[in-house]
Amino acid sequence: MNYQEALEFIEKSHKFGMRLGLENSFKLLELLGNPQDKLKFVHVAGTNGKGSVCSFISNTLKEQGYKVGLYTSPYLETFTERIRLNGENIPEEDVARIITIMKEKIEQMASEGYAYPTEFEIETAMAFYYYWEQDADYVVLEVGLGGRYDATNVIKSPLASVIVSLSLDHIGVLGDTLGKIAYEKAGIIKENSIAVVYKQKKEAEEVIKDVCKEKNTKYIEADFKHLEVKKSDINSQIFNCTILGEKFENMEIKLIGEHQVNNAVLALTVIKVLRDERNTEISDETIKRAFLNTRWPGRIEKIKDCPTFIIDGAHNEDGARSLSKALEKNFKGKKMTLLIGMLKDKDIDSVLEILMDKFDKVITTTPDSDRAISCDELKEKIEKYVSDVIAIPKIEDAVKYTLENAQDDDIIISAGSLYMIGHVRQLVK
């Protein structure tokens, strides 16, 4: 099959929905020769900051000269960006070739009475197979949803299990309290391993510590006590910090927002663990260069000037709070317009409560997803906070309207669903 046929094959599996449990993934991977057992992983779960942390870590390993896989989701613009090797998307012909191999194995599974794999199970197995074929030295692996039953959790002994900032998200699947969500995320922690954890709220922290104790795993918490931010603006941030007794000075990153400095500190902690406890050669010069060169599209990312147009995937309470702080710091007193679309299963009310006082005008639209809240429903919710709200169903029309009605010195923010901002990014850039 060709690339388009391979994508159609993957997308058809969408009808099988989401399934909790790893039995199917284990079977599919077994038929593929268990490629995941031949790779070294850094496994990253959590709510906010997974992509940025993964990007800092993978970029550092790549800069050191290793061959590094980076597996993330969802994609912003093109399917192949989810499976990257040394910064390059998986070639379309490799997607076609590997899916052709997998189709035969999937049919064999079905004939043996196994359920048909889900879209994410197929994509994850394909990534493992590709990285094994390409002889990757390391794979930085982002969890899709949750952790305990996520398709990525078939790996046996990660070099580090990383948990980023947690907040209420996917409450219909993962649970309606921070403790329940923490338990699901902590499901990636393996026996006799190392867990590197963002500073969490007490409820989540206790759960993660209990899991670590149960599994005889070392608990290492990112230390923000010695963090000193020396510069922070819309172009870059410079900071000093101390990680596990070692000083890192004048670390510069291009990612914007206070939360990105925190994500960088967490990533540095992981790198320090890899270097000190996993015998991975990584120089200080490499770390500095890699962090400066790290980009993560869709996270407070400026994509246009005159008017300034920024996109951000803020879709939950913590994400909204990070965006709010960045707007307050960089654009206070300026006229700001929000273009927003969200999914029904997100904490919409909390996001709106945090963000709406920053905006003079709001345009709502409907993301291209069966989980989307309609622009009219979202408009109704926003009118409690902002009087000037317009609903435009199609994203293309919403972007056109927003740009046509903006002055050169206006600030436009597009936030909410990653499905939406990826589309917006393509239209505006």
How would you write the pLDDT of the chain (429 residues) with one tens digit per residue? Answer: 999 999 999 988 766 555 667 999 999 999 999 999 999 999 999 988 899 999 999 999 999 999 999 999 888 889 999 999 999 999 999 999 999 999 999 999 999 999 889 999 999 999 999 999 999 999 999 998 778 999 999 999 999 999 998 876 544 445 568 888 899 999 999 999 999 999 999 999 999 999 999 999 999 999 999 999 999 988 899 999 999 999 999 999 999 888 999 999 999 999 999 999 999 999 999 999 999 999 988 888 888 989 999 999 887 787 898 899 989 988 888 889 999 999 988 889 999 999 999 999 999 999 988 889 999 999 999 999 999 999 999 999 999 999 999 999 899 999 988 878 989 998 997
Rounded CA-CA distance 2/96 in Å is: 5
The verdict on 281 and 334 lying in the same domain is no
- Is the domain of 179 the same as that of 267? yes
Task: Report the CATH number at residue 73.
Answer: 3.40.1190.10
Residue 228's domain comprises 3-293
| Same domain, yes or no: 242 and 367 | no
Residue 316 and residue 408 in one domain: yes
- Assess whether 200 and 327 both reside in one domain: no
| Same-domain pairing of 242 and 316 | no
Q: Are residues 45 and 167 in the same domain?
A: yes
Same domain, 282 and 351: no
* Residues 340 and 397 occupy one common structural domain: yes
Claim to verify: residue 357 and residue 403 sit in the same structural domain = yes
Residues 207 and 312 reside in one and the same domain? no
CATH number at residue 377: 3.90.190.20
**Could you write out the three-class secondary structure of the chain?**
CCHHHHHHHHHHHHHHCCCCCCHHHHHHHHHCCCHHHHCCEEEEECCECHHHHHHHHHHHHHHCCCCEEEECCCCCCCHHHHEEECCEECCHHHHHHHHHHHHHHHHHHHHCCCCCCCHHHHHHHHHHHHHHHCCCCEEEEECCCCCCCCHHHHCCCCCEEEECECCCCCHHHHCCCHHHHHHHHHHHCCCCCEEEECCCCHHHHHHHHHHHHHCCCEEEECCCCCCEEEEECCCCEEEEEEECCEEEEEEEECCCCHHHHHHHHHHHHHHHHHHHHCCCCCCHHHHHHHHHHCCCCCCCEEEECCCEEEEECCCCHHHHHHHHHHHHHHHCCCCEEEEEECECCCCHHHHHHHHHHHCCEEEECCCCCCCECCHHHHHHHHCCCCCCEEECCCHHHHHHHHHHCCCCCCEEEEEECHHHHHHHHHHHC
* Last-in-domain residue among 293, 321, 349: 293
Number of domains the chain contains: 2
- Whether 263 and 355 map to the same domain: the answer is no
Do residues 41 and 169 touch, judged by C-beta distance below 8 A?
no
Boundary-marking domain end, from 293, 315, 335: 293
Q: Which of 293, 321, 353 is the last residue of a domain?
A: 293
